Amino acid sequence: MQKVTLGKSGLVVPKNGFGALPIQRITLKDTVYLLQKALDHGLYYFDTARFYTDSEEKIGAALHDRRDKVIISTKTGATTVENFWKDLETSLRLMRTDYIDLYQFHNPAFCPKPGDGTGLYEAMLEAQRQGKVRHIGITNHRIAVAQEAIDSDLYETLQFPFSYLASDVEHDLVRQCGEKNIGFIAMKGLAGGLINHAATAYAYLAQPQFSHVEPIWGIQRESELDEFISFNDNPPALTPEMQARIEKDRNELSGDFCRGCGYCQPCPAGIEIESCNRMYLFLRRAPYNVYLTEEFREKMDQVEKCIGCGQCRKKCPYNLDTPNLLKRNLEDFREHWARKAELNPED
């Protein structure tokens, strides 16, 4: 089994990390089965967040009696000291544990530091002194904040989107983390579902230059788990065919595309921006009949209700022109819908 040391923390985790955001979408019974099966087969690092509704509670139900066998990271999006402690105590209670292995500031708009006036980093140090937090990390979607965190030498880990679709700037963040012994936790290793070949995604991140990179894979189905379990004993190596796939995907997905991070939400007009803003790519990267359904048509029709407030554009960490991208995706969806109607008039 390939393993990763998370920088200065010294935490050693399997190259397969279990991203627990998707378990919000399945039942408690199914989650307990999934998490316990993951642990039984060597996936013992689980990453969640206070923001992920009942994810922490489900982790507690599944793993509390095997706490010494797992490494757990979670996150707080608190912007005040009061809410920091509230989040921390809630996470500990729900996960039925006395400590969190890695506690991360969750996508803050700035890099928390001692003396910055918020008291957040001081609270994190106090939680560490009390033994409730063992290691300190930060997550982000903003290059500038990630860079500041690296430069600060205050964090043992950085969690940031990273896959074979990453830009040169993102690759540079990874390189710097390696040089400064900061563990790099790669979220969205499948680019929010746009990469549809897990073995290639894994093989790319298993290259020697990414030995300090820990991918966390969002898992909610047993079939997904089984695939990543198979990588433990037989880790895929990058082949010429995989490299060709990577080049093809990079060409197809170059330029502005929605990563599905969700920070543009909620939309005042009720538009499901994450799904609607990637429809163009979904229709080309999967059997399009999966998306040409009444359910998705109703979601896409919501785009017409855009009130032009611009909130999504302001909140996008990738500076996308979200309103115009939504309109383009709606037009493309309707073209495919009309084509489907012509080919299958009885549907």
Cβ atoms of 277 and 192 within 8 Å: the answer is: no
**Nearest Cα to Cα of residue 163 among 218, 235, 110, 225:** 218
CA distance 326 to 304: 9
The verdict on whether 99 is a catalytic residue reads no
Cβ atoms of 157 and 185 within 8 Å: the answer is: yes
∠ CA 140-26-58, nearest 5°, is: 70
Residue 176: CB atoms within 10 Å: 16
- Choosing from 44, 45, 52, 121, the catalytic residue is 52
**Nearest Cα to Cα of residue 271 among 339, 186, 330:** 330
Q: Which stretch of DSSP H or E encloses residue 310?
A: none
Q: Is the dihedral of CA 162, 312, 289, 229 positive or negative?
A: positive
CA distance 323 to 309: 9
CA distance 291 to 280: 10
**Nearest Cα to Cα of residue 333 among 269, 295, 279:** 279
Rg (CA), the chain: 21
Cβ atoms of 159 and 185 within 8 Å: the answer is: yes
Q: Which residues of 190-204 are buried (b: 16+ CB within 10 A; e: fewer)?
A: bbbbbbeebbbbbbb
Cβ atoms of 1 and 14 within 8 Å: the answer is: yes
Q: Which residues are catalytic?
A: 52
